[in-house]
Amino acid sequence: MKNKKMWIFIGIIVLILVLNHIFGWSAYLGNAENLKFLENMVQDNLLLAVLIYTVLTIVSCVVLALPGVTFAIIAGLVFGPVLGTICCSVATTLGAIIAFVVGRFFLQDSIKPMAMKNKYLKKWLFDETGSNEIFILMITRLVPLFPYNLQNFAYGVTDIKFSTYSICSLIFMLPGTAMYTVGTAGFADKENRILYIGIALVLAVVVIGLGAFLKKHYVQEEQSEE
């Protein structure tokens, strides 16, 4: 049964990639005319615009595996710095949660035994005390160890609690989301351009600095010990 679930998952992924290649869903989502349509909808029906954006972001992050930064940029252009950051944070977190649940259902039984054979992965991702869970989430959300979309599925393989994963993902992804959303809003807003870009630069320094610190003092040290 465990291998059957894994093959079903692989089959779904392959099918989605093939259909995306045939119908060009990714290109459609990045079309400038569709973006303009969403911008106009904000003026007519803000709630509907937020709902459409949220659904598209979740589907694109989970099904099409598009990078979350794409939707931070869209949120900044469409909704502005504050509402854009909120919308993007909520939507990408929901997408991460759904991918986590999918990974836990389809992959945990088959991938977990193989992953635990790696001493490094076992220590950080399958620690029975749970003491490393929040720390490893913080590192992987701030330091680009491996692609964001793969992280979401990979965490489903671990024993991390659903609540811990959801809350920590929201918190640790927020600085990077705000950085891109506020920065994009700055390029689109002539009146507040300097302010928004300045805030984005400060956030960039914080995110990059913290990420580099964690990578240098913890990740590399752990790897050298291995």
DSSP 101-154: HHHHHHTHHHHHHHHTTSHHHHHHHS-TT-TTHHHHHHHHHHS-SS-HHHHHHH
Read off the tokens for 25. Answer: 């869903």
For the beta carbon of residue 191, count every other beta carbon within 10 angstroms.
Answer: 7
- Given this model, what pLDDT does residue 124 score? 61
- Given this model, what pLDDT does residue 30 score? 61
Please list the rounded mean pLDDT of every run of 10 residues in the chain (226 residues).
75 81 68 77 90 87 75 90 94 91 82 66 63 78 68 85 91 90 90 92 87 64 50
Burial 157-180 (b: 16+ CB within 10 A, else e): bbebeeeebbebbbebbbbbbbbb
Nearest to 46 by CA among 13, 14, 87, 2: 87
| Angle value at C-alpha 151, between 145 and 154, nearest 5 degrees | 120
Instruction: Identify whether the C-beta of residue 174 lies closer than 8 Å to the C-beta of residue 84.
Output: no
